[in-house]
Each structure stands twice: as structure tokens, then as C-alpha cells.
Amino acid sequence: MTNILSEVTKVRDRICAVGRSVFDRGLTFGSTGNISARLSDGSMLMTPTNASLGTLDPAKLSRFSPEGNFIDGDKPTKESFLHICMYCKRPSAGAVVHLHSTHSVAVSAMADLDPADVLPPLTAYYVMRVGRLPLIPYFAPGDVQLARAVEEKAESHHAVLLANHGPVVAGNTLEDAQYATEELEETARLFLLLQGHRTRPLTEEQADALRQR
């Protein structure tokens, strides 16, 4: 009991610290984005709806039972179902991060993307942190169909890009999810910088070798 209580306190603080960090570095704006973490007893903590990730209060995070029922805290993010769908399909996931990071959102609104894998393997680090990035068709934020569409991809992909919206990334830990979301954002930025330039991404063979490590 004492252990889970100290874990809860730590995770509440970590969610707020990650929220502050991404907000302060301009990786999400206003009250956009949401973050969740799953604890060792299967319960989940999520950021409340309409909360700025820059000024989260650890005591006000929304708490869910392992079955996905809201327990207490402020009214949860409208994407709570989407986060729960990620956890259902990814038993090892300990955290999910969704941001409105500018370059990722810009790419999510581009025409003629490959819906199976939006970004080319520009660097080894991107392939290792993110891997293949499917595009989820557009649905309004909070729409249960958006969560269902993410659920369909979640078993085989820990990172997805919501069309005209932004990235959703799961990780074994909160840091894993944060770092992968940041890597996705930087690669989206590189991808946009390289538009109009002849580009030499990693070969399929080189990328596959990294995916298998």
C-alpha cells in the first residue's frame, strides 16, 4: 500500500514535470495536448481537459481504474478513451503523450502522405525511437471513432499521427513516450526543411536492421 502511494505521488509529479518541460519549450500550446501514465496496479492518471500542460497541478490529475472507469480528480481529457485504447492494445505501455507540436501537425495536414508510414527514415535515431508512423484518418478531437482508429493501429505501432491534428505516442515509461514524441517532432521539422532538396533517407535494409535491434 505504501509502495503504490509513493509510486502515485512520484508519477503525478513526473506527469506535471514532463508537461511543464514540453510546454516551456513550445512543443504544445494553450491547453492543447494530454499526457497519461499507467501505474503498476493498472490504474491510470491523465491530464484534465482544458488544462495547460505548463501549469498542471499534481493533485488535480484525473484518475482511472484499470478497467477504464473515472475515479476522481478534475474532468479528464476528452481523449481519455484514446489513451485507454492505447493501453489496452499495448500491455507494456506505461505512458502516452499527445502534443500539438508544430512541425508534426504541419506534416499531418500535408497532401499525398503515405498513410502506412508518414515520414521517411531520415536518421537512425528516428527509426529506433519512432519506427513506422501510420496516419490516422481525420476525426474530431475526442470522437470515439478517433480512439477506435488509433486502437486498430496500436498493437503494431507505438506512435501514430492523427491527420490535421498531431502525434500520439506510447512508451514503456513516461520518458520513453516523451523522447519519442520529441524525436518525431524534430524529424517532421527535418522533413519540412528538406522539401525541395534531393534527399537520401536510410535504405529499407538499413532501417530494418535498426528496427530489429
Ligand X SMILES: O=C(O)[C@@H](O)C(=O)COP(=O)(O)O
The catalytic residue positions are 79, 125
- By C-beta, is 22 or 207 nearer to ligand X? 22
CA–CA separation, 48 and 57 (whole Å): 10
CA–CA separation, 154 and 146 (whole Å): 12
Binding positions for ligand X, rule: CB under 6 A:
31-34, 49-50, 77-79, 98, 100, 141
Least Å distance, CB 80 to ligand X, is: 8
- By C-beta, is 1 or 140 nearer to ligand X? 140
CA–CA separation, 7 and 44 (whole Å): 12
Extract the C-alpha cell encoding 189: 521539422
CA–CA separation, 35 and 22 (whole Å): 11
- By C-beta, is 58 or 141 nearer to ligand X? 141
- By C-beta, is 77 or 181 nearer to ligand X? 77
CA–CA separation, 105 and 107 (whole Å): 5
CA quadruple 50, 55, 60, 62: dihedral positive or negative? positive
Least Å distance, CB 209 to ligand X, is: 35
CA–CA separation, 9 and 19 (whole Å): 16
